[in-house]
Structure 1
Amino acid sequence: MTEPTRRIVGAFDGREVEEVVLSSPTGVRISILTYGALIRDWRVPLGGRERSVVLGFDQFEPYPKHSPYFGAIAGRVANRTAGGRFVLDGTVYALPANEGRNHLHGGPQGIGERNWAIERCDGQSVRLTLQSADGDMGYPGNLDIAVTYSLAGNRLDILFEAMTDAPTPVNIVQHNYFNLMGEGDILDHTLRLAAGAYTVVDEEQIPTGEIRPVAGSDLDFRAGRTMRDRAGNPVDCDFNFALDTRRAAAAPVAVLAAPDRSLTLSLFTDQPGLQVYNACKLDVPVPGLGGRNYPRYAGLCLEDQGFPDAMNNPHFPSPVISPERPYRHHCAIEIA
């Protein structure tokens, strides 16, 4: 078994930040930080060289101030909660607003902005854990969270688990920004989705409650298309897609292909939704991996998830877990 590369790369909140590098016999290397349990870099062999296929930073230091959740594990409840409030069992819970009047990705100190602990690691897998106390960012219940990354060949499996001592909402997601060319924009990548509908949002990106068919719109990716409209203009995308409920369990929900077809990404998940964000609002003021600039459309997020603002939309799949029903979420990403 390959020994893991493990080193200290900085400090945060008085604790050391560590990096673990997983590697596989196919030549894939994935660098994971304890801060945010995030993927800092993901390298795939191609033509005798390595290509970095995610956005990130070369060092730890830019992450707390400049990262728009690059590679992070977001939650407790990822995506947006309208007005920073929800009702559970008759009690109103107030959450800190960190995107206008709304609550985003678990709040200003969500789990993607904490320093996790490494429970175990070897050359092919690492398990990271975090404890979130009752009342943390306004959420009820003590929550014990674990994320396990397992690399086999060109496939990375991610297992999310959480246990609580009281009913509480949980929606934990991976927030990688992919660019299969390693540079430039992703507008000419081809994306195919197993999704015939999406959740409509208002001007604040809050779901209205409507679930609308994608047919006839610029959000119809069922047959595969780029992030451009028929005139060749960029299509801004930051939407949750309702994944087909009768899809084959072994089939990918998303397939992303580089413009030159040099690499293809396949995403598998057991979740009901997929947030597709093409970085239409991205503007990172500091250099990224290899000194690259990250302007608009520099990467594509494929965040498999529960539906956003589900606590305020009872007809959406419920995100509430309990001591009897712990949280478990599995996804896999293969890039080859």
Structure 2
Amino acid sequence: DGNLENVALTFDSIPEFLTKPNPFFGATAGRVANRIAKGKFTLNGQTYTLATNNGENHLHGGVEGFNKKVWDAEPYTNDSILGVKMTYRSPDGEEGYPGTLTSTQWIELTPDNTIRIRFEASTDQPTIVNLTNHTYFNLSGIKGDVLDHEFQFWADYYTPVDEGLIPTGEIKDVTDTPFDFRKPNKLGDQIAANGGGFDHNMILKQEPSDEMKHFVRVKHPASGRVMDMYSDNMGVQFYTGNFIENFAGADGKTYQKHWGFCLESQNWPDAINHENFPSPILNPGEKYEHRIEYRFSVED
């Protein structure tokens, strides 16, 4: 009906992102998104120790990950596309990671209501990298929780986790589990069946390729808003805002548990510590590439 509403958890102003703690609203997470067990990994025979900022584990790049950096930004327009090119140079040793990593991302809004994100990165030493976007979506217009949203994942497998949300190394079939969203399911029903919220890696691919795959469709039946997600990466972290509580957000609203969901296109979590997971290693002369699209539409 031509009514516009916000569909992402956020603040009222840019300075608030720089002065208030927040759970990665709209952020780029890196140098390695998601968790690394006990903040340790071994690369080419050398063990590296990272900040442990999530219990005993390392999360989303550490104490001052890429989400807390002000990137160099250059806006542009091209064929009706509105975009921004952003670059950040992470020095050797930052947060414990080896190598100087130069990361660039392009974020674009297209005339057909698609948010398109593209990452590239290069390094001068062997390192590990896993960049993602960490936006919390709520297709209701932030009127409450997202338990009434319907989700469909084109995912046959997921990676189970331990009590610290670290993958066990198992690759498990979703059949007869609350992780089976291969047909549209109401989120609240699946959360009830799971005994709590989701914070799990849903497997998009088991072999790397540059193919953009349609992976998730989310619908808010009351408004008719639909979001389809496409990615060329290996997995998507499905997070349902389990740790949000009494958070002062935009427009005078107080965000609570399950008021947003994240679809974090990524390599699998803690991949450097699991030989059977896709490798997150980036070597000099190689280029890390990763593409995401969030396509918005309306259905009756």
TM over 0.5: yes
Instruction: Give CA deviations for 1:214-269 in whole Å, capped at 9, x if unaligned.
Output: 11111111111112237967741110111145999455101000122511001100
Aligned to 1:317: 278
How far apart, in 2, do the equivalents of 1:135 and 1:127 lie?
25
Aligned 8 A contact 2:210 2:232 in 1: no
Aligned to 1:175: 134
How many residue pairs match? The answer is 289
Aligned 8 A contact 2:201 2:236 in 1: yes
Q: Give the drift of 1:118.
A: 1.0
Aligned to 2:234: 272
Aligned 8 A contact 2:28 2:133 in 1: yes
Aligned to 1:259: 221
How far apart, in 2, do the equivalents of 1:158 and 1:169 lie?
20
- Closer/same/farther in 2, CA of residues 278 and 148 from structure 1, 3 Å limit: same
Alignment partner of 1:202 is 2:162: yes
Aligned 8 A contact 2:104 2:120 in 1: yes
Q: Give the drift of 1:314.
A: 1.2
Of residues 24, 34, 37, the one that matches 1:69 is: 24
How far apart, in 2, do the equivalents of 1:94 and 1:83 lie?
9
- Counterpart of 1:59 in structure 2: which amino acid? S
Higher RCO, 1 or 2 (CA under 8 Å, sep at least 6)?
2
Aligned to 2:40: 85
The structure carrying a bigger strand percent of its residues is 1
Aligned to 1:4: none
Q: Give the drift of 1:61.
A: 3.5
How far apart, in 1, do the equivalents of 2:236 and 2:118 lie?
16
Aligned 8 A contact 1:194 1:244 in 2: no
Aligned 8 A contact 2:212 2:232 in 1: no
Alignment partner of 1:237 is 2:198: yes
Of residues 264, 267, 290, the one that matches 1:306 is: 267
Instruction: Give CA deviations for 1:164-188 in whole Å, capped at 9, x if unaligned.
Output: 1111100000001000111211011
**RMSD of the alignment, in Å?**
2.0
- Closer/same/farther in 2, CA of residues 165 and 235 from structure 1, 3 Å limit: same
Structure 1 stretches of 4+ moved >2 Å: 60-66, 119-123, 228-235, 244-251
Aligned to 2:5: 51
When structure 1 is superposed on structure 2, of 147-156 and 87-96 the one drifting more is 147-156
How far apart, in 2, do the equivalents of 1:138 and 1:164 lie?
15
Of residues 263, 271, 291, the one that matches 2:252 is: 291
Instruction: Give CA deviations for 1:37-69 in whole Å, capped at 9, x if unaligned.
Output: xxxxxxxxxx23211110000113432433100
Alignment partner of 1:226 is 2:226: no
Aligned to 2:291: 330
How far apart, in 2, do the equivalents of 1:261 and 1:54 lie?
15
How far apart, in 2, do the equivalents of 1:230 and 1:192 lie?
12
- Closer/same/farther in 2, CA of residues 250 and 272 from structure 1, 3 Å limit: closer
The structure carrying a bigger helix percent of its residues is 2
Gaps of 5+ in 1: 1-46
Aligned 8 A contact 2:29 2:134 in 1: yes
Query: Mapping of 1:8-157 within 5 angstroms?
Result: 47-63=1-17, 64-122=19-77, 124-153=82-111, 154-157=113-116
How far apart, in 1, do the equivalents of 2:189 and 2:228 lie?
23
Aligned to 1:39: none
- Counterpart of 1:62 in structure 2: which amino acid? E
- Counterpart of 1:257 in structure 2: which amino acid? K
Aligned to 1:212: 172
Aligned to 1:160: 119
Percent identity between matched residues is 39
Q: Give the drift of 1:285.
A: 3.2
SS in 2 for 1:51: coil
